Structure formats: structure tokens, C-alpha cells
Structure 1
Amino acid sequence: MIVGFIGLGTMGRNAALNIRRAGFEMVVYDIRPQSMDALTAVGALPATSPADVLERSDVVVTMVFGPREIEQVVRGENGFLTISCAGKYWVDMTTSSPKLMRALAAEFQAKGGGPVDAPVTGSVDAAIRGDMTMFVGGTDADVEAVRPVIEAMGELRRVGPYGNGYVAKLVNNQLWKIHAAAIGEAMVTAKLAGLEPEVWWRVMKGGAADSFVLQHDVPSIFAGHYDPSFPIALCLKDLGLIEELMTETGTRNELTRATHDRFKLAGERYGLSAGEMTVCKVIEDDANVALRVAGDWLAPWDVVHAADSKAGVR
């Protein structure tokens, strides 16, 4: 099985490296040619367009910024639909619009292909280690055909038919972003009331307020870098998609909208490339409080894959 991979950003590059580590022959493409270097250095072959990747692969994995980019991959001038899709599988890991993606999948399927959605949750360290969680939708036959590729990147969690993966990812990120914004308010309140940040963090873990965000992301506040591996630009894209989905379903969204506004403010103050947890820095700065804690806080992007660790690679 030859695997193609399109979109070699922070998450995609590491996910693709794990597919290559699993022994698959690979063809890769990114609109930034230099982004292919890490994969071609380990034997992957470069391609010139999405259509070129699809033509040379059995399974193509895509992981791009958002709806506009993935639509270009499929419907664009050199996209999938410009060639035969017969007998090909497409696994999309992009955080995108369920409505759009169901339409794209139907077009891919009409040309003979098998679409599977598998958006991921987790951070760049999970992509490096190869233990990302993927919300996987599609027919049983299509999912089983691509299972070895997905499991090379992490854990497969079935969510039903195609499109449900995007829904699961959006509501997952909805809770993640709301909690991220709330953590800043809780931490600053605790410190102003006499409870130091490190003590607060230690006693919150394992209790009713615990979450992945609290466990994984608070150290980026302590370190003061706020995790730029997931920038505010991506947070705002996701929150826009979440609000779009809630509008489509007619769901009340006061908490989500307030969170979106807080992230917009963080982007205005600190820039769209600032780390996701700068949503908490807004509260720090307004209260004239610093939540720095001395310590050796391992940054997510400094995590090393087990195979590289054994080989002494950094």
C-alpha cells in the first residue's frame, strides 16, 4: 500500500513521519516545498500537486488548515476530482465544516473513491509520539481498508458514518476552548485570593475540574510561551466553524460566543501567531498578575518519538 500525505505543517509532518516509520511507501505534497524535506529525507517521494499524490497512491491522507484549503485540494485546478478516483481511499484529518466535507466526500465517492473522515484531537506531542486520537467516520469497508494507516498515527475511535468525525472534532474543540478560556479566570482569581498557581494546579488535577486542557496546557502558562504550536489563528478558525454548526442546528451558544470573543481579544492583543493559551494572558495582564512558575516545563514540540529517543536523536 502506497500512502500519500498532503499538508505537512506542525501536526501533519509528524503524523506523516509515523506513517513512514510504520514501513509504508509514501508520496507527499505541501504548497511550501521546503515542508516536504523532513519526509523526503526518510525516503518519501515529493509530488507536484494533490492530483499527482492521488494518482501515485492507494490511500491519501490530508491535513490542511481549514475548509478553503481542503476544498482546493479536492475541487481545485489540480485537485482530486480532475483525475480518476476509482479504487482510491481518502482519509481527511482537517478540522472543517461537516456540511462542506459531506459534499466533497459525495463527489469523491461518485468518482469511485472511498472517503473517510478522521479529524484528530491532541497536541503536537501526540503527533510526534504517534498516539493521537482520531474521530473516524465512514463505511465499515472503507474504514477497515485504511485502518493500518490510521493506526500508524494513533488511536481510531469510530463515530459512525462519514461526516460524524468532523462533528465530534468540533464539539470536542468547543469544550476545549471554553475550558482554556475559563482556566485563565480561575487561575488569576486563585492567585489574587492567596492560592499560588502551582499549588492550584496540583490540587485541581484529579478533581471535578480536571481535563486534558488543565493537565496538558497549564504548564505552557507557567513557562510563559502559551504553546505557539497551536496558534490563535487556528483557534479562531475552529471557533468560527463551531458557531456555524451551532447556527445550523439552532443550538444556544452564549458560552461559545463569549469564548470566541475572548480568543478574538487575545488575537488582537498578541497576534494571530501567539499560542492558544494567550487567551489566559488576557486575564493575567488585565489583573496585572503573572502566572509564571519556575521549573523544567517540557514544551510539547520538544517531545521525542520513542524510536528517535532510543537512537539518541533530538
Structure 2
Amino acid sequence: MKIGFIGLGTMGAGMASNLCEAGYDVTVHDLRRENAEPFEQRGAQWAPSVAELATNVDVVFTSLPGPVQMRTIAYGDDGLVENLRPGTAWFDLTTNSPTLVREVHEACTERGVKLFDAPVSGGPEGARTGKLAIYVGGDEAAFSSHSDILNVIGDQVLYVGDIGAGNTAKLVHNCASITIRSAIAEVMTMGVKAGVEPAALWHAMRQGAIGRSRTFDRIGGRYLREAYEPASFALELANKDLNLALELAEHFDVPMELARVAQKDFLEGLDRGWGKRDSQSPLALQNERAGVHIKLTADEVQQVLDRG
């Protein structure tokens, strides 16, 4: 089976590497020619164009920044829709717009191509180690026939439903994550301003019903330490996901008051030039508004985590 992989950025490089490691016949393409060189050294082939890659593979993966890039890759005489052979499976790993994915799916179906939206969750480290959740939307029978390949790049491959369901699930996940973090900053500043020490307050929060699910652990490495660089998940990327989630909610007439509050903070962070900083960086805006300084050392964070 011949596999094509388009998009060798931070996430795509890790996933493509695991496919090469598993012994698959892989052909790669990226806007930056140099990004492909490590894969060629491992036996992968280089395709100078999307069209050339499309005509020579049985399965294609795309890992792109967002909807604009997916539309560009999909359409035109040199795009995937025109050049993939009937029977080819296309897994778009991009966190994307469900509306666009359904549009491209319709065009693919007319040509006998099986498109799946399959966004991933787990970050760059998960991409390198294969510890990713993959939320898949599309034809269930065709999905099942490609499970072996998907299991190479992710350890939690989840079939969610029809086309568009994968990105809906991913956007729900990311929007919840973004919104919860904003709520945490709000209550943290309230508690600290009321006189509770940050470490004690955080420990108390973690021992409550929600806290025991470890919802709050992830803020220890970033928000509580004011450590936003280098980014694990950049603000500009999280803002794209939040915007996509809000578009989806608007489409179904779902009110998203807290998410829109979070969006305002994201936009302010971007205006301050924080786009490359971690997506938790806008939580610092709540600290400013409340007139509270919260900063734990790495040792203080670890001490709380060690308490269980």
C-alpha cells in the first residue's frame, strides 16, 4: 500500500515519521522542500507537486494549518480532488471547519474518493510518540478497513460519526479546554484576592469533584508559573480552533457566552503580540484585571502535584 503525506510541520513530521518507521511505502510533499529531506533519508519519496503525489498513492494524509490551506490543497487542476484515483482514502488530520470538510467530501464522493476528517489531539510530543487521539468522521466501513494505518499514528483512534463529526468532536474538546482555563483564571484570582495563597488554593481545587479528574493539573506548567514560552500549543493556533468552534455554534444557534469572553481575551493577547506564546498566556489578562500576581516556582508546582 502506498501512502502520501502532505504537510511536514510540527505535527505532520511526527506522524509521517511513524508511518516510515512502520515500514510503509511513503511519499511526502511540503511547501518547504527541506522539510522532506529527513524522510527521504529514511526511504520516503519526494513528490514535487500535490498532483503528482495524488496520482501515485492509495491513502493520503494531510496535516495543514487550517481551512484555507485545506481548500487550496483540495481544489484546482493540481489539487487532490482532481487527481486522486477512485477508491483512494483521504484522511485530513487538520483541525478544520466541518462545513468546509463536508463541502470537499461532496466533491470527493463524486470522484469515488473516500474523505475522512480526522483531527488529532496530543500535541507535538504525541505526534512523535504515537500517543494521539484521532477523531474520525466519515464512512464507517471504509474507516474500519484503514484502522491498521491509523493505529500507527495514534493510540486512541475514535470513530465519531459521519463526515464532519471528527472536527465537531475536536472543536468541542478544544473549546471546552479553552473555556475551562478562562474560568479557572477567574476563580483563582477571586480566591487569591480573598486571601488564600495560590498553592493552597490550587491544591484545594484539585481535591474537589472536578479537580480529582485532574482537570487542573495542566495549568501547573504554564499559567501558575507564568511560563508561556516556548509554546506547546500556540495562541494563534488555539484562536483559530476557538473561532471554528464559535462558527459551528452559530450555525446551530447555540449561545456561547463564556467562550466569547475567552475569545475577547485571545484577541487582546494577539493584539499584544502573543500569537507565538502558549495558548494559556491570555489567562494572565485576568490577573491584570484583578490586580493579582500569581506565580509559583517549578518546585512549588511539583510539591502540589506530589500531594496527589
Report the TM range for the smaller structure's normalisation.
0.7 to 0.9
Q: Using the alignment, how far apart are the partners of 2:227 and 2:39 within structure 1?
A: 28
2: CA distance, partners of 1:69 / 1:206: 43
In structure 2, do the counterparts of structure 1 residues 173 and 150 end up closer, same or farther at CA, with 3 Å as the change threshold? same
TM-fit CA distance, 1:255: 1.5
Contact 1:67-1:96 at 8 Å conserved across structures: yes
Residue 305 of structure 2 corresponds to none
String of CA shifts for 1:233-270, please: whole Å, max 9, x gaps. Answer: 11221111111111110111212211111111121224
2: CA distance, partners of 1:230 / 1:77: 34
Alignment length, in residue pairs?
298
Q: Is the 8 A contact 2:90 2:114 kept in 1?
A: yes
Q: Distance in 2 between matches of 1:56 and 1:77?
A: 16
1:276 corresponding residue in structure 2: 279
Identity %: 30
Which residue is 2:179 aligned to? 178
- Rounded to whole Å, the distance in 1 between the matches of 2:144 and 2:219 is 34
Q: Answer whether contact 1:220 1:297 (CA < 8 A) is retained.
A: no
**Aligned position for 2:86:** 86
Deviation at 1:228, TM superposition (A): 1.2
Which position in structure 1 is the counterpart of 2:306? none
Q: Structure 1 residue 294 and structure 2 residue 298: aligned?
A: yes
Looking at structure 2, the residues matched to 126 and 217 of structure 1 have their Cα atoms a distance apart, in angstroms, of: 18
Instruction: Give the distance between the partners of 1:279 and 1:178, measured in 2 at CA.
Output: 11
Distance 1:29 1:259, change over 3 A: same
User: 2:38 & 2:74 partners in 1: Cα distance?
Assistant: 24
Q: Give the aligned partner of residue 123 of structure 2.
A: 123
Distance in 1 separating the partners of 2:214 and 2:30: 30
TM-score normalised by the chain length of structure 1:
0.86
- Give the match for residue 256 of structure 1: 259
> In 2 relative to 1, CA 123–189 (structure 1 residues): closer, same or farther, beyond 3 Å?
farther
- Give per-residue Cα distances to partners, 1:70-94, cap 9 Å, x unaligned: 0111114521123243121100111
Q: Which has more radius of gyration?
A: 2
- Report the AA paired with residue 101 of structure 1: V
Q: Structure 2: how far apart are the matches of 1:206 and 1:66?
A: 38
Question: 1:153/1:282 Cα in 2 relative to 1: closer, same or farther (>3 Å)?
Answer: same
1:206 CA displacement: 5.6
Give the Cα–Cα distance (whole angstroms) in 1 for the partners of residues 37 and 219 of structure 2. Answer: 29
- Residue 166 of structure 2 corresponds to residue 162 of structure 1: no
More off after superposition, 289-298 vs 42-51: 289-298
RMSD value over aligned CA atoms?
2.3
- Structure 1 residue 245 corresponds to structure 2 residue 254: no
| Aligned-residue offset at 1:214 | 2.5
Which letter maps to 1:188?
Answer: T
* Deviation (angstroms), 1:56: 2.4
Residue 179 to residue 109, structure 1, CA distance change in 2 (3 Å): same
Specify whether residues 214 and 128 from structure 1 end up closer, same or farther in structure 2 by C-alpha distance, changes over 3 A only: farther
Given the alignment of the two structures, is residue 113 of structure 1 paired with residue 95 of structure 2, yes or no?
A: no
The offset of 1:145, in angstroms, is 2.4
Inter-CA distance 195–20: structure 2 relative to 1 (3 Å threshold): farther
For 1:291 and 1:41, the matched residues in 2 are separated by 45
SS for the counterpart of 1:278 is: coil
TM-score (ref. length: structure 2): 0.88
- C-alpha deviation, 1:44, in angstroms: 2.0
For structure 1, which runs of at least 5 residues remain unmatched after alignment? Answer: 299-314
Give the corresponding residue for 1:220.
222
SS at match of 1:134: strand
The equivalences for 1:3-18 within 5 A come to: 3-18=3-18
| CA distance in structure 1 between the aligned counterparts of 2:205 and 2:274, rounded to whole angstroms | 30
| Matched residue, 1:61 | 61
Letter in 1 for 2:299: G
Aligned to 2:137: 137
CA distance in 2, matches of 1:170, 1:49: 30
Q: Which residue identity does 1:293 align to in structure 2?
A: T
* C-alpha separation in 2, matches of 1:103 and 1:206: 46
Letter in 2 for 1:182: A
Question: What is the Cα deviation at residue 184 of structure 1?
Answer: 2.1
Runs of 4+ in 1 over 4 A off after TM superposition: none
CA contact (8 A) 2:86 2:113 kept: yes
Q: 1:270 to 1:192 in 2, by over 3 A?
A: farther
